[in-house]
Amino acid sequence: MSAYVLVLYYSRNGSTLEMAKHIARGVEQAGIEARLRTVPAVSATTEATEPGIPDSGAIYCSAEDLKHCAGLILGSPTRFGNMAAPMKYFLDGTSGHWLNGDLINKPAAVFTSTSTLHGGQESTLLSMMLPLLHQGMVIAGIPYSEPGLNTTLTGGSPYGASHFAHGDKPTRLSDVEMDLCQALGKRVATLALKLHS
Ligand SMILES: Cc1cc2nc3c(=O)[nH]c(=O)nc-3n(C[C@H](O)[C@H](O)[C@H](O)COP(=O)(O)O)c2cc1C
């Protein structure tokens, strides 16, 4: 099986999905496959189930997709300063990977989208790292050698890629946000290639 970086996201309105696509482009620029996957929504109505194949976007992530990745880039919209429940629910189901040590020493990074500029991008990014550290992953951020980090008036942080969506409707990523998404994808892919070999 050839190596791939898993770009795993949840997105309700499309902004986080848009980021995932730019990140995947960065991954592939480094010469490794980007595997785009999503997670099902969760519902407070316990009888409700999602269809096996989502109506739009990537297909759902399987246990095998996660187990065999050479690197992982995890994205979620910010919800009350933290990741969205569907992504947390998915991660809470990865005890098997934790017990087997499937993700130990693999590089990982995080990304998020918010509707407000100061609505919790950094707290979301930092809290998304916690389960990845428990899994033994090696966390990569964005270094300040990326010029966009010093000039951005929108998203982008050393903790990971971010997008300021100006509300709930998906808006176009700014040029800097796009650059930083690609840089993050490329960085994790480069690390994955080095660590994988
Ligand atoms: C329940 C809920 C909580 C949210 N909490 C925040 C928040 O804490 N800060 C913020 O800036 N935006 C918040 N938002 C807005 C989303 O983060 C924002 O619209 C994001 O871009 C959606 O991403 P998506 O298009 O990928 O679904 C919240 C949205 C919902 C539905």
The verdict on the CB of residue 14 being under 6 Å from ligand 1 is: yes
State the pLDDT confidence band at 18, using cuts at 50, 70 and 90: very high
Q: Strands 138-139 and 71-79: what pairing?
A: unpaired
Q: Which two tokens stand for residue 3?
A: 């190596």
The pLDDT value given to residue 91:
98
Residues 115 and 167: beta-carbon distance below 8 Å? yes
For the domain spanning 4-196, the CATH number is 3.40.50.360
List the chain domain ranges: 4-196
Model's pTM, two decimal places? 0.96
Residues 70, 192 contacting (CB under 8 angstroms): yes
Compute the distance from residue 162 Cα to the ligand 1 centre, in Å.
Answer: 12
Give the whole-angstrom CA distance, residue 65 versus residue 6.
7
